[in-house]
Amino acid sequence: MANLASAEIKARLERSYDAIATTYNTWAVNHPYRNPTDDSEAPTKSALELGCGNGYPILQHLFSAGLFDCIVANDLSSVQLNSVKSELEAKHDNADWRQGDMTCLSFNPCSFDIIIGLYTLIHLPRSEQLLMLEKISLWLKPGGLALVNFSKEDTEADVIEEWLGREEGWMFWSGYGADNMPRLIQQVDGLEMVVGEL
């Protein structure tokens, strides 16, 4: 399975998330999470969520916090992005919706105060995870923060053919593992790991 090309991985993930959107959204709502926002910080102006899914919980928190002049929401799945867009677009005129592969996104340097990518970069082939970190570093304003997570396992390709019990739920994850990732993050120009949890 490790021989899959990046384009094939992303095409299959897009089809899978489109097909299992309802099942995934039910699972995500019932899946425990920790609130990524910290109300003690000074208000920021712009945010990017990579892989926003149906917008729950992170994107909804970003909008309800009222701290951002602009929020960019990205997801590979058009079904997921259209779901959150139809729910939130009428309530929030400060959103920019970007459907597609996160590695193909393009923004000016220093565009965002915060970038969030939870349970999303792990779907990229691991070599592209490092390239994505370089983009994140470029897109962050000085003093900006990124909140991302990575696989604790060192795996080039972890595939489940029917994730969440769905025949269409082909899923792919990869990562350098908890032992390697902190060192690799520190090697990305402009990034500093402030907090790391396993």
Q: What's this model's pTM, rounded to 2 decimal places?
A: 0.80
Which residues make beta-bridge pairs with 172?
A: 159
Q: Assign 36 a pLDDT band (cuts: 50, 70, 90).
A: very low
Give the residue-averaged pLDDT of 13-37.
70
Mean pLDDT value across the chain: 88
CA angle centred on 118, ends 2 and 127, rounded to 5°: 30
In 133-147, which positions are buried (b, 16+ CB within 10 angstroms) versus exposed (e)? Answer: bebbbebbeeebbbb
Neighbour count for residue 131 (Cβ, 10 Å): 13
pLDDT at position 23:
85
Tokens coding 137: 């570093």
Q: Is the pLDDT of residue 39 over 70?
A: no
Give the CA distances from residue 96 to residues 35, 50, 93, 178, in Å, rounded to whole numbers and listed in that order.
Answer: 22, 12, 9, 33
| Rounded Cα gap, residues 176 and 194, in angstroms | 19
Instruction: Give the lowest-confidence range in 1-10, 15-24, 61-70, 79-88.
Output: 1-10
Neighbour count for residue 81 (Cβ, 10 Å): 24
pLDDT digit string, tens, across residues 135-182: 999 999 999 999 999 999 999 999 999 999 999 999 999 999 999 999
pLDDT at position 44:
47
Instruction: Give the lowest-confidence range in 22-26, 94-98, 115-119.
Output: 22-26
pLDDT at position 27:
72
Tokens coding 112: 């965002």
Q: Is the pLDDT of residue 63 over 70?
A: yes
pLDDT at position 26:
75
Give the CA distances from residue 77 to residues 23, 45, 55, 84, 101, in Å, rounded to whole numbers and listed in that order.
Answer: 14, 26, 12, 11, 9
Where do the H-state alpha helices sit in the chain? 6-19, 21-30, 58-65, 78-88, 126-139, 181-186
pLDDT digit string, tens, across residues 108-120: 999 999 999 999 9
pLDDT at position 191:
92
